[in-house]
Chain A
Amino acid sequence: MTSPLANLADQTADLLATITGLASIEQLREAEPSITGKRSILSALQKSFGVLAPEDRREAGAQLQEARRVVEAALDARRRELSHLARAQSLREDGLDLGDVVVGDVRWPASVGHPSLVAITQRELEDVFVAMGFTVSEGPEVESDWYNFEALNIPPAHPARGLWDTFYVDLGEPETVVLRTHTSPTQIHLMEEGVANDSLPIHSVMPGRCYRRDTPDSRHLATFHQIEGLVVDRGITFADLAGVIETFTRAYFGPDIESRLRPGYFPFTEPSAEFEVTCTICRGEGCRTCSHTGWIELGGCGVLDPAVLAAVGIDGEEWSGFAFGFGIDRCAQMRHEIADMRALIENDTRFLEQFS
């Protein structure tokens, strides 16, 4: 008696030829049951095993299994090929030569745009300082620990590094690359350039994006924006710093808002100060926002520490200066009484559309 599998090789070849001949996904879907399904020759052969002696069944089963594997693989490959072709075809049909777009004919849906609150605030702050004679400078967001800390008089392992919850970047030796925790490293870049190009004095403000590894809440974001100011000139004193802060406060918040300084600590300035402004909610009367003090802490400032000048090679006998810094988002929050800072990063147009 002939084995039911005597013609298996030819049958398999026929099936493969059929598969190659399938021209579309639809054809393939239609043909599939007759190639590998219940109505296929492979299934029929399987059923015919009843006539075989039990000891031959295993061998036959293996042969049929192998044939099925080859056929199924070919079918899958063809399926991929066809769907690829189909996608290519539909992409081709969907294709548009954008060089041929007649701009005057484009139907342009109408919509009203809105600038980002942070951008608006940053621009307003920049404008106040530009009017006072400052330039605007920028620096990178990924910095080395040297620029972010050490040049600012915060050596490795210094407890003051704990003041900044730092995101470390997986480059170089551990903890050598950081997402800048403040815009202060830009001060270092500026001063280095000033020395290298012999272009002192410096009067500049530095806005930019900063990062701190701090779980966001209604008053803090892990990504935020800061603006910092740096003056390096001859004969600059703490009085000049206090004067600049005062003028800025009135220019930005309004004539009835005052500023005051109180001692603080920053490794890169000495003397250092925190600066506070009249609470913009209660105008100094005392309310919950200002813990009934009438004042709101806005930022930090101080006279440049001699160690910082030394780190960038500026002669502290000839030059002196001051620096200050505060949050751009925080100013926006105060001005617009935004209950939760997180609204700034949610990109909900219902929020964004309020600003113009």
Chain B
Amino acid sequence: MKISLSWLREFVDITESTEELRVILDDLGLVVEGVERVGEGLEDVVVARIDEIRAIEGADRVRLVVVDAGHGPLEIVCGAMNIDLGDHVPLAPVGAVLPGGFEIALRQMRGVTSNGMLCSARELGLGDDHHGLMLLDEVIDPVVGVNLLEALSITPDVVFEITVEGNRPDAWSVEGVARDLATRLGRPLTAPALAEPNGDELSASFASAGVDDPDLCGRLTVSVLRNVRVGPSPSWVRARVQGAGMRPISNVVDASNLVMLELGQPTHPYDAAHVAQRTLRARRARPGETIVTLDGVERKLAVAGRGLGDTGEDCVIVDGDDQVLGLAGIMGGASSEISDATTDVLLEAAYFDPMSIARSSKRHGLRSEASNRFERGVDPQLGLRAAARFVQILHESCPELEWLGSPLDVHGTTPTPPTIRLSAGDIERVLGVTIDGDEVASILRGLRFDVSLSDGDLTVTAPTARPDVRSGVAGRADVIEEIARLYGYRRLPRHVPTWPEPGGLSNRQKLRRHVRDVVVDLGAVECWTPTLGSDGDFDLLEPGVARVRITNPLAADESVLRATMITGLVRAWGKNLERGTGDVVLAELGNVFVHPGIASWPRTTKGGVGGSVTLSLPLESERLTVVLGRPGDDAASAVALWSTLAERLGLADVVVRTSETPARGFHPTRCAQLVDRASGAVLGSVGEVDAVLIEDVVASASTRRLGLLDVDFDALCDAGRATRRSEFAKVPSRFPSAAIDLAFVTPRSVHAQDLAHELRGASEFVERVALFDVYQGSALPDGTRSLAYNVRFSADDRTLSESDVASARSQLIARAESLGATLR
């Protein structure tokens, strides 16, 4: 909202500087987004007449213009081509400083001296037009030599661009902002001049009004204006409307806009000649009805919308023939629009139910200055006051204007302003400070709250302009916010609270940090790949599988929630490869989503209006995915990365076990599952990226192998699935240990880690079993390979004898044989 200082000054005496005022407005929650200075730097600019235009030898872009600005001919070099002899234009003489600090100096151009500058509207900060000089004859009757500000009746002014929060419809007007200022500054608020009905006739004898659905239209006032002459507005009205960023149209429309800007009440003028039986009624639209709004669009009414709980309610204004004239509070129709021929006007100033305006406006995709205000809540008592202001303004350009007596005023249902009891203690309990009772009362009275004090307790009734103030306990908070706001947030104390409960991270959060640290320590660069992807990407790994879809994506390739991070990371790797930075390990720890229809345990939650419906939501699971893309990386380095990670996480025993059904995205014969030996739970998969996926996702064909690790972080966090080593530490034996190597010809079906596990349990003396060599060759029977283990033996209480070692060795060999492995 653009509000000028001069307009504010009509309501409240302001002595503060622009900067001071900006700070005060900000502190009141009326956020100043920008400050524009109009007419600044134009003090020296005068009206000049063009008397002569001459070409300059050798120049085709500029000409020599001789002007008269009241002191005889002046030669000026000028590049504008939109001028003729006799035109009046603004002249910035030598020494003038234009807006933006541009100082005009004597200049030599093409051997000619330029004694100043002729200006465009933009150069003067008076408009956006920069196509040529500002032609004054189009706007005024110019007199040579007169100061431009005087000629254009411009008073230098400051325009504030203010954002008003959604809960402050009362502040969405000049008067509303002025009221906050007056209250904060402790100065009186001046009321604008209002007209009185002056017609001999009564309104009811000329027109009628009605409200069929009082829940939708809380109040409908209709004023009858006769002897209207439609024409241009007085210049001050045009200036005000323009200053607020609106286009002046005619005296009637401008007055309506000005009243809205000034007081916050949207009004709608109808040409009475085109309103059947000069009757305006507000009612619910019926299915099948349509209207062509002023923007030329035909709109179907009373059609249920997609919005949650939107039953398709529209409030419309109809005439005496029950024909729809407009979408109430949002936009009028073309049929009864004001035209040059209009002589009688019906002026509607109403109150509509905010929620129903909000729904209609959203459903029809139609927002207007009026609907924006109605949906937040206009003061239901404001209608006739706004009409009186409207008449006052219109009267200036239509002196014969007649406002018929007793304007029509039909009441529907409006909210009752709440009355709230408030003690000094209540204020202190919320704000942490005691505020003097008189100051509280004067703040609230300044904001038009009705306040009575007894024994330090306040009984407060909100003004009708404050729909944001609720009743009961919530209302108490609303009133306290108003007290704090006007008192000044900056004056409120600060206190750092303490409590006995310790802060800290959960085990899951600690584990997440640990996993991140280890993976980064192992050389991975952590990525953030998109959560939202395309159907095509989804189908690469999950063809035809149910997916979680976004109803209103920004783009088609961002419409599906990811079910894996593998695709995203491989793509990220491919992009880096193209940039020549593909020799990296990329990792991501993040959420993937499973459609509730196929999730193993869908999440249910409450939703819908009032939380009355039970909804099934996608399963969100957190995973760690690592793509190893350095030269030489492959499934084996992925295994090495995993085994280091598992070791650092203190996992007791996770077997890397080949599986008949490879996990999605993995190379079918170079992948394995990570199986927790104790729980049997699958913690993830390790291996290489499927070459088919690399081909699909990476633009530049690559024959490089990519190691891949995909771990279920939820499983890692679950002690029942991911078994941890005992926290109890074992002190190693102080006696020397003995080491032997054992190589077994082992059937392929027997897993190296399973055999190691068996060996570990075969004798009480086993301290450690480590696989150190795998040999496969033609010397060995088909379907076998040789697994060589280094085994260390020790005992806590003695040095093992040779016979101890020999018997332990036999036990190990026997155990291996029971699995079908034979000593080589």
Contacts and interface: CB of A to CB of B under 8 A. Distances in A.
Interface of A: 91-92, 94-116, 118-119, 123, 126, 129-136, 138, 140-147, 150-151, 155-160, 163, 167-177, 179, 201, 203, 209, 211, 213, 215, 222-223, 231, 233, 235-240, 242-244, 246-247, 260-265, 267, 270-274, 303, 305-307, 310, 316, 320, 344-350, 352-353
A298 B636 CA distance: 47
Contacts of B484: 238, 263, 271
Contact of B607 (A146, A160, A270): A146
Interface centre among A104, A170, A305 (most CB of B within 10 A): A170
Given A100-B787, A350-B579, A353-B525, A172 B607 contact: yes
Given A243-B497, A344-B528, A349 B492 contact: no
A172 B609 CA distance: 12
Contacts of A274: 31
Given A106-B640, A109-B630, A175-B308, A233 B499 contact: yes
A72 B308 CA distance: 58
A237 B431 contact: yes
B596 A171 contact: yes
Interface string B498-535: 11011111100100010011011111111111111000
Contact of B496 (A104, A140, A244): A244
Contact of B477 (A95, A260, A264, A303): A303
A99 B672 contact: yes
Nearest to B355: A157
A240 B506 contact: no
Contact of B608 (A176, A261, A345): A176
B774 to A, nearest CB: 5
B503 A203 contact: yes
Contacts of B579: 348, 350
**Which of the listed residues B485, B522, B608 has the most CB atoms from chain A within 10 Å of its own CB?**
B608
A91 B668 CA distance: 7
Contacts of B620: 140-142
A145 B549 contact: no
A173 B308 contact: yes
Contact of A163 (B166, B490, B596, B669): B166
Contacts of A142: 548, 561, 593, 617-618, 620
A278 B102 CA distance: 32
A215 B554 contact: yes
Q: Which of A102, A157, A201, A264 gathers the greatest number of chain B CB atoms within 10 Å?
A: A157
Given A119-B516, A167-B550, A237-B432, A108 B167 contact: no
Interface string B7-49: 0000000000000000000111101000000000000000000
Interface stretch (B115-123, B265-273, B323-331, B745-753): B745-753
B309 A109 contact: no
A107 B617 CA distance: 44
10 contacts: A102-B774, A126-B505, A133-B501, A136-B505, A151-B611, A157-B358, A176-B308, A177-B615, A237-B432, A264-B165
B548 A101 contact: no
B728 interface: no
B496 A352 contact: no
A223 B581 contact: no
Interface string B781-823: 0000101000000000000000000000000000000000000
B528 A150 contact: no
Contacts of A271: 430-431, 477, 480-481, 484-485
Interface string B609-637: 11101011110100000000011110111
B386 interface: no
Contacts of A310: 473-474
B633 A150 contact: no
A272 B490 CA distance: 14
Contact of A98 (B477, B576, B587, B671): B671
B669 A91 contact: yes
A174 B550 CA distance: 11
B477 A99 contact: no
Nearest to B521: A113
Contact of A106 (B576, B611, B637): B637
A112 B523 contact: yes
Q: Which of A131, A133, A239, A273 has the most CB of B within 10 A?
A: A239
Given A157-B310, A203-B503, A109 B605 contact: no
Nearest to B589: A119
Nearest to A90: B669
Contacts of A233: 497, 499
A235 B811 CA distance: 70
Interface in B634-677: 635-637, 639-640, 643, 655-658, 667-672
B300 to A, nearest CB: 19
A223 B532 contact: yes
B210 interface: no
Nearest to B532: A223
Given A113-B522, A239-B433, A264-B29, A157 B639 contact: no
Nearest to B357: A159
B591 interface: yes
Contacts of A99: 655-658, 672, 751-753
B603 to A, nearest CB: 7
A94 B576 CA distance: 27
Nearest to B310: A157
A163 B166 CA distance: 9
A103 B656 CA distance: 11
Interface string B525-555: 1111111100000000000000011111110
B687 interface: yes
B575 interface: yes
Nearest to B643: A103
Contacts of A240: 432, 495-497
A129 to B, nearest CB: 7
Nearest to A137: B506
Contacts of A223: 530-532
Contacts of A119: 516, 526, 589
B167 A111 contact: no
A146 B672 contact: no
Contact of A157 (B362, B517, B658): B362
A219 to B, nearest CB: 15
B166 A176 contact: no
B585 interface: yes
A352 B669 CA distance: 33
B54 interface: no
B375 interface: yes
A284 B504 CA distance: 33
Contact of B430 (A98, A114, A116, A237): A237
A262 B617 CA distance: 38
Contacts of B375: 159
A347 B529 contact: yes
Interface in B166-210: 166-168
Contacts of A303: 430, 477
Contact of B531 (A96, A110, A209, A215): A209
Given A102-B773, A243-B496, A262 B520 contact: no
Contacts of B29: 262-265
A94 B669 CA distance: 7
Contact of B523 (A110, A136, A171): A110
Contacts of B639: 98, 101, 103, 106
A176 B309 contact: no
Contact of B492 (A103, A168, A201, A238): A238
A347 B606 contact: no
A146 B530 CA distance: 26
Contacts of A203: 499, 501, 503
Contacts of B671: 98
A94 B531 CA distance: 33
A222 B557 CA distance: 14
Contact of B631 (A109, A132, A140, A174): A109
Contacts of B615: 144, 171-172, 176-177
| Pairs of residues from A and B, 8 with the lowest C-beta to C-beta distance, nearest first | A263-B29, A239-B432, A144-B607, A237-B432, A95-B669, A265-B165, A271-B481, A111-B523
